[in-house]
A and B are shown apart, each in its own frame.
Chain A
């Protein structure tokens, strides 16, 4: 089944403790992206990647890092999480950087930083 898999689904952590949210897709998609979703603000792009070893900042990149060493994986790294990073996170992938091709979204990771 074609899908984007995120792990974990739920995570509670403490301020300053580094964490990684994994994202993997099995569709051979070139384009991958991370979003956070907060009440009333909609989905905001954190980082995106157009191919292996090619990443760029989205609209809200502060406090996050990403890497794209393999085509299928696009982990999101929080080096020193803070409470304002408490949010619902989505990874998404697309077959092309031409924005006609829609995203396939993961199921989400609900992160709480205390």
Chain B
């Protein structure tokens, strides 16, 4: 079954600290993997996208990695800010079906 699992479910960190979110997937065949940021009650906004041949992608303080062999991805946030408080969703594209498989997200809270 094509699934995307994220961990942890929730995370609380202090402002200025780094953190890493995890995404494991079983989607096959794989097309690409995206990380989205979703503020409460708002639509998700794309942070990074990686295809099979890419193993790292950065967007400012956000760096995503992909290990296609182990089917794992991580999102690393450097020097967190209060505005990073949001849910982070991992989404994997299912090649050939035009389907996206969504993880349930990690809820991040950054405290002052």
B102–A100 touching, CB < 8 Å: no
By the criterion CB–CB under 8 Å, are B32 and A107 in contact? no
User: How many A-B contacts at CB < 8 Å in the complex?
Assistant: 53
Please tell me if the beta carbons of B100 and A103 are within 8 angstroms of each other in the complex: yes
Query: Is there a chain A Cβ closer than 8 Å to B46's Cβ?
Result: yes
Which B residues, 6 to 41, have Cβ-Cβ distances below 8 Å to chain A? Answer: 31-32, 34, 41
What is the interface size of chain B, counting residues whose CB is below 8 A from a CB of the partner? 22
Scan B53-94; emit 1 where CB is below 8 A from any A CB, else 0.
000000000000000000000000000000000000100011
Interface of B is mostly: strand
Contact status of A108 and B105, CB under 8 A, knowing A43-B89, A99-B31, A100-B31: no
When A90-B43, A110-B41 are in contact, do A99 and B94 touch as well, CB less than 8 Å? yes
Interface residues on A, range: 20 to 34
- Chain B positions within 8 Å of A, measured between CB atoms, are 31-32, 34, 41-46, 49, 51, 89, 93-95, 98-100, 102-105
